[in-house]
Amino acid sequence: MPAKKLREFLDSQGIAYTTISHAAAYTAKEIAALTHISNKELAKTVVIKIDSELAMSVLPASYEVDLSSLRAATGARSVSLARESEFKDRFPECEIGAMPPFGNLYGMAVYVDESLTKDKDIAFNAGSHNELIQVSYADFERLVKPKILKFSELPDVESIGAWHL
């Protein structure tokens, strides 16, 4: 069952959503494979620190956060990945690493990579490692009011030798 806080919020706003159950998976790429949802439409949430404040970056599953681009886009002095110990208590009803990208429910700013804005629908972790919620991107943007920036990119397949995959 999706995180109660998220489910109640979506229901109170009259948002149409689909819940998708799947076998336990811990990476966005594994989830995409299990659910047959495009890596482009599966949104992953990466908790970051922007000038010591926790925030959420939301990007396609197959992309990576470019911290220097995010720092430049936000005008911050520093941007880094947050450690689990720094944010785990912010999401008491969620499994670590399965937080939904609704920072507005958890007192956090949300930054969405502009590539997600091109999707009709997005799916994301619903608070556990075996369930997703899918909503229209338009509804997500209207509810969360994220800052839309360009801060992610596909990994450099040449440098990791992806031709071996």
* Tens digit of each residue's pLDDT, the chain (165 residues): 567 889 999 999 999 999 999 999 888 778 888 888 888 889 999 999 999 999 999 999 889 999 999 999 999 999 999 999 999 899 988 998 899 999 999 999 999 999 999 989 999 999 999 999 999 999 999 999 999 999 988 876 554 444 434
| Cα–Cα distance list, 151 to 92, 114, 157 (Å) | 28, 8, 18
In a domain, 159, yes or no: no
Question: Does some domain include residue 96?
Answer: yes
Instruction: State residue 144's pLDDT score.
Output: 97
Query: Residue 41 domain-assigned?
Result: yes
- Structural domain total, the chain: 1
Q: Dihedral of the CA atoms 26, 27, 33, 39 (nearest 10)?
A: 150
CATH of the domain at 8: 3.90.960.10
CA distance readout (Å), 31 to 17, 21, 92, 145, 163: 18, 10, 22, 25, 22
Q: Is residue 8 part of a domain?
A: yes
In a domain, 32, yes or no: yes
State which residues form the domain around 129: 4-154
At residue 34, the pLDDT reads 87
Tell me which H or E stretch contains 35: helix 28-35
In a domain, 142, yes or no: yes
The whole-number pLDDT of residue 67 equals 95
Q: Is residue 165 domain-resident?
A: no
Sheet holding 43-50, edge to edge: 79-81, 43-50, 53-60, 109-113, 147-149
Side-chain half-sphere exposure of 145, counting CA atoms within 13 A: 5
Does a structural domain hold residue 138? yes
Q: What pLDDT, on the 0 to 100 scale, is given for residue 162?
A: 46
Question: Count of alpha carbons within 13 Å of 49, Cβ hemisphere only?
Answer: 12
